[in-house]
Amino acid sequence: MTVQAPWGPEPAVKVVGATEAAPPQSRTGRKAPWWMWVAGVLIVLPLVLPLVFLFFRVLGASDAALDILFDLRTAELALRSTVLTVLVTATAVAVGVAAAWVISSTEVPGRKAWGVLVPLPLVIPSYVLALSFLAASGPRGTLATVTGWDVPVLDGLPGAWLALTLSTFPFVYLMVLAALRRLDPALEDAARGLGASRWRSFWTVTLPQLRPAIGAGALLAALYTLSDFGAVSLMRYAAFTTAIYAQYAGRIDRTPAAVLSVLLILIALVIIWAEQRTRGNAAYHTSRPARRRSRQRLSTGERIAALGFLVSVVTLGVVIPVVVLTTWAWRGARVGETVTIDWGAVGGSLVGSSLAAILAMAAAIPIVVLTVRYRGRASGWLERTVFVTFSLPHITVALAVVFFAVRYLGPLYQSLTLLVVVYASIFLAQATGATRASMLQVNPSVEEASRSLGRGPLQTLRSVTVPLIRPGLLAGGALVFLTTMKELPATLLLRPTGFDTLAVRIWSAANELFYARAAASALVLLGLSAIPLYFLVLSTKESSE
């Protein structure tokens, strides 16, 4: 069994030796047809070329670049980004591990429901979480209006910290939960049998085995925090991403933005590299499918503490956002503020996300065929490229595309076509991840049968392979649709004039403190997200039955 993280292209944790009836995938057979390789390379070029160009541009501007690099303000930015990343990662690990352990290993009441509710903040964009805390706090905020207390505004570092912790702890939670489910309960039982207390066995036996999962989750959280633009900008916490945006938007010379982007990309690459390594190691400790774990009994006090913890996590991550957004939207409507649904933005979101999803599904086919059927060095690089471009901060990728497009693409710059291509390229990894899972279930013999019955490679792809991987393709498409709809920085940088999405609307309204208007758009966004989410849940249910 593999656990597919909903945001990631790869199975989050690979289980070594698990009895999955997947057919053998690659025999040293024929080489892939040349046009498949051409397609594969063409698919990664739209992001690879601009990123390469960005590096050369910065190298070309070396003097100016060095000045900016050693500027004190750059050092300050680095420090601020680091502080935020460390704080968020630490709390995300604490919350994620605790929640995973309580839900999977204790007899806390309502475990099934908590299992659904706790990871829910994952589908709420970070800027929506930030918006709801801003709208809840402060003298005009929901809390103040309801209670009449004097509530300070929750922004800056504490605000960004809270919003991003809620956005990122589900990564840790899901990874640790998967690891806990695979743990051999006999080990813990053995420790208890040798006289260790519950705590001692947790610290000395369970936790060390969870370390790779925690590490991978923590690095994902760190990467997400470092890359986040929406929450930090609304919370007015100056970090790398916001500085890049400010330099890009406010200056004629865009070299500083390019330099900061390259710096951020390099930091992100280190984290991605470390995360991949940890994730690779995450497989070693797994064992055969474990029998059912016996769950820890809880005393009344412990039960109350555990429940209190879960309630506050869900309150902060789900209840407050939904309640606050609803009250603001409703209140705004009552005082006659223009909170009518902006159909232009809804249309923009739907059009952009649908086109991106379709394009990503089409592009996923050759990539998955190459990486699954024709495993090798070249296809390995292709796979890595797709994954890395997905993991880099979107603002840096978008900025690279802007530079490249202004210089070489002329009319394509700020066109819907370019925006959709960038969306599809960034989120391609999600489409290939889901499709890959389907592809692994297709026995290569089926394709060989088609070949020996007289059909060429393209006809075989069309009449056999694609129909068989359709469930994965559709799931991947739904995932791309979902994430594209939430996408903010790339949209801000690359959207055509007059093209609006809900994400942009929410962000700019919140930025100008029009919380009611932002809240209404945010509710629409969450509502629209529920549609692909519903299909995703449905498709995973079907495939597991």
Q: Two tokens at 313?
A: 């996590």
Give the Cα separation of 302 and 106 in Å (integer).
10
Query: Binding another protein by CB under 8 A: which of 190, 456, 534, 537?
Result: 456
Give the dihedral sign, CA 84/85/88/91.
negative
* Shortest distance, position 462 Cβ to another protein, whole Å: 12
Helices assigned H by DSSP within 282-342: 300-314, 320-334
Is 152 a binding residue for another protein by CB under 8 A? The answer is no
Is 28 a binding residue for another protein by CB under 8 A? The answer is yes
Backbone angles phi, psi at 106, to 5 degrees: -120, 170
Considering the complex, state which of residue 29 and residue 193 has its C-beta at the smaller distance from another protein. Answer: 29
Considering the complex, state which of residue 71 and residue 448 has its C-beta at the smaller distance from another protein. Answer: 448
Query: Binding another protein by CB under 8 A: which of 157, 196, 468, 533?
Result: 468
Give the Cα separation of 536 and 362 in Å (integer).
18
Query: Binding another protein by CB under 8 A: which of 16, 22, 23, 60?
Result: 23
Q: Which residues are 11's β-sheet partners?
A: 4
- In sequence order, the 6+-apart residues with CB closer than 8 A to the CB of 541 are none
* Shortest distance, position 29 Cβ to another protein, whole Å: 5
Residues numbered 494 to 533 that lie near another protein (CB under 8 A) are: none
Query: Binding another protein by CB under 8 A: which of 16, 17, 20, 29?
Result: 29
* Shortest distance, position 461 Cβ to another protein, whole Å: 13
Task: Identify residue 400 by its one-letter amino acid code.
Answer: A
Spatial CA neighbour of 21 closest among 443, 543, 370, 434: 443
Give the Cα separation of 34 and 55 in Å (integer).
30
Is 10 a binding residue for another protein by CB under 8 A? The answer is no
Q: How many residues does the chain have?
A: 545
Return the HEC string of 366-416.
HHHHHHHHCCCHHHHHHHHHHHHHHHCCHHHHHHHHHHHHHHHHHHHCCCH
* Shortest distance, position 313 Cβ to another protein, whole Å: 43
Is 22 a binding residue for another protein by CB under 8 A? The answer is no
* Shortest distance, position 544 Cβ to another protein, whole Å: 17
220 and 229 in contact (C-beta within 8 Å)? Answer: no
Is 385 a binding residue for another protein by CB under 8 A? The answer is no
Is 467 a binding residue for another protein by CB under 8 A? The answer is yes
What mask, x for binding another protein by CB under 8 A, covers residues 432 to 451?
-----------x-xx-xxxx
Total of chain residues touching another protein, rule CB under 8 A: 20
Query: Binding another protein by CB under 8 A: which of 51, 464, 503, 509?
Result: 464
* Shortest distance, position 31 Cβ to another protein, whole Å: 9
Considering the complex, state which of residue 152 and residue 456 has its C-beta at the smaller distance from another protein. Answer: 456
How many C-alpha atoms does 468 have within 13 Å on its Cβ side?
A: 19
Question: Interacting stretch for another protein, rule CB under 8 A, among 57-65, 67-75, 132-140, 452-460?
Answer: 452-460
What does the buried/exposed string (b/e) look like for 229-245 if buried means 16 or more CB atoms within 10 Å of the residue's CB?
Answer: bbbbbbbebbbbbbbbb
Question: Interacting stretch for another protein, rule CB under 8 A, among 27-35, 178-186, 252-260, 360-368?
Answer: 27-35
Is 462 a binding residue for another protein by CB under 8 A? The answer is no
Interface residues toward another protein, by CB under 8 A? 23, 27-30, 443, 445-446, 448-456, 464, 467-468
